[in-house]
C-alpha cells in the first residue's frame, strides 16, 4: 500500500492499494515499511490467505462476470489521526466486498491476473449451484381467505 501525507487541503492522509502478490515476508511480520520518500511511503501488509468457499460462489461468479475480475482489498484506520491503516482482508468475492463496504471499511479493487481468474472460474464451475427461481403468484389472484 502507498500512504501519502496531506495529498490535498482536505485530507491529512490518503491510502492506495498498489498490488497483491504472494506472501514472501519474514514469519511474524504483519506490516513492513518498504520505502519512504518525503510525504509518500510504501507498506507491505502480510499474512492473508485467499480461501475459496462453496457458500461464496455467487460472489465469485459476480466478480468473474463483472467485465473486470478483481481482487478486493479492504482496510480500516487503526489510530485516531488516521495515519495508519490495517488491511483486514483480501478476497475474490464481490458479495464479501459489499459486506465490508457496508461495515464502513474501505475496499479497493485491483485487476485479477488471468491465471487466478481461470483458477477461480474452475472452482466456481465445480461448486456453483444457481438459485432456483420461484414464480410468485400475485396476491390479487388469491381468494380472500388465502390472503
For 121-136, the pLDDT digits (tens) are 999 999 988 888 877 7
Domain-embedded: residue 137: no
pLDDT in tens, 6-54: 888 888 888 999 999 887 766 655 788 889 898 898 988 888 888 899 9
State the pLDDT at residue 147: 64
- Extract the C-alpha cell encoding 142: 388469491
Return the higher-pLDDT residue of 39 and 143: 39
Domain-embedded: residue 39: yes
Domain-embedded: residue 23: yes
| Domain limits for position 85 | 2-128
Task: Indicate the number of domains in the chain.
Answer: 1
Domain-embedded: residue 145: no
**Using DSSP, how many helices (H) and how many strands (E) does the chain show?**
3, 7
Domain-embedded: residue 73: yes
pLDDT in tens, 55-112: 999 999 999 999 999 999 999 988 777 788 889 999 999 999 999 999 999 999 999 9
Domain-embedded: residue 25: yes
Which distant-in-sequence residues (6+ apart) come within 8 Å of 147 by Cβ? Answer: 139
Give the number of other Cβ atoms within 10 Å of residue 59's Cβ: 21
Domain-embedded: residue 122: yes
Please tell me the pTM assigned to this model: 0.80
HSE, side-chain direction, 13 A CA sphere, residue 90: 18
- Extract the C-alpha cell encoding 87: 488491511
Amino acid at each position: 500500500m502507498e500512504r501519502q501525507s496531506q495529498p490535498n487541503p482536505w485530507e491529512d492522509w490518503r491510502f492506495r492499494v498498489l498490488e497483491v502478490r504472494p506472501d514472501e515476508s519474514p514469519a511474524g511480520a504483519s506490516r513492513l515499511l518498504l520505502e519512504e520518500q518525503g510525504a509518500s511511503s510504501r507498506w507491505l501488509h502480510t499474512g492473508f490467505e485467499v480461501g475459496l468457499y462453496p457458500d461464496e460462489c455467487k460472489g465469485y461468479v459476480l466478480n468473474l462476470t463483472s467485465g473486470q475480475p478483481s481482487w478486493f482489498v479492504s482496510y480500516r484506520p487503526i489510530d485516531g489521526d488516521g495515519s495508519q491503516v490495517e488491511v483486514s482482508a483480501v478476497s475474490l468475492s464481490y458479495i464479501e466486498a459489499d459486506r465490508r463496504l457496508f461495515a464502513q471499511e474501505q475496499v479497493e479493487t485491483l485487476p485479477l491476473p488471468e491465471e487466478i481468474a481461470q483458477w477461480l472460474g474452475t472452482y466456481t464451475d465445480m461448486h456453483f449451484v444457481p438459485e432456483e427461481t420461484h414464480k410468485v403468484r400475485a396476491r390479487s389472484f388469491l381468494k380472500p381467505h388465502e390472503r
